Structure 1
């Protein structure tokens, strides 16, 4: 019984099958584009909320931390956008259905 348990513990939990990729493929599938568009929407929503709450907050340290979070999400949004433009040659159609405002 102990021998079986020790053999099971030595084996990795997951062993990938098939060929290993040495680098990321240069192709973005339609499913990848949908996921990247979702990621852009999440970052856009997070940056808008962080900016809104930073403006509502009266404690300077918290307001600054929220603005820093806002800048981080904006950076991520732009990185994803740049990546999509690089691989597709065009920006996404609708990064957010409820975008409402342009980023500054």
Structure 2
């Protein structure tokens, strides 16, 4: 995947080490997991205020995920 990104952007990210790339990839996985958990727990919550707060937190994680995704592939996210 790192090689595909480097090819797509003409080596723009060639200074990104494998360790850094793997950390960012892991971070994206964590954001996605947090987003999914928030959606699940918001749907399970009986208190509407708490459910709304959990949904807002899930939206925050979605923004973080989208931001990281745009960093690697700006054409894929609009």
Give the whole-Å Cα distance in 2 for the aligned partners of 1:85 and 1:35. 17
Listed one character per residue, the Cα deviations across residues 1-44 of structure 1 (whole Å, up to 9, x for unaligned) are xxxxxxxxxxxxxxxxxxxxxxxxx6322211100000001100
Partner residue of 1:31 out of 5, 12, 19: 19
TM-score, with length taken from structure 2: 0.72
- Deviation of 1:67 (Å): 0.4
Q: Quick one: distance in 1 between partners of 2:21 and 2:71?
A: 11
List runs of 5+ in structure 2 lacking aligned partners. Answer: 1-12
Larger Rg: 1
The 1-side partners of 2:39 and 2:57 are apart by 8
CA-based RMSD of the aligned residues comes to 1.9
Q: Measure, in 1, the Cα distance between the counterparts of 2:48 and 2:73.
A: 37
Aligned residues: 63
CA distance in 2: counterparts of 1:31 and 1:84, whole angstroms: 16
Matched, 1:44 2:32: yes
* Structure 1: gaps spanning 5 or more residues: 1-25, 92-104
Greater helix share, structure number:
2
Q: In the alignment, which of 37, 44, 48 is matched to residue 56 of structure 1?
A: 44
Shift of 1:61: 0.4
Q: Extract structure 1 runs of 4+ deviating beyond 3 A.
A: none
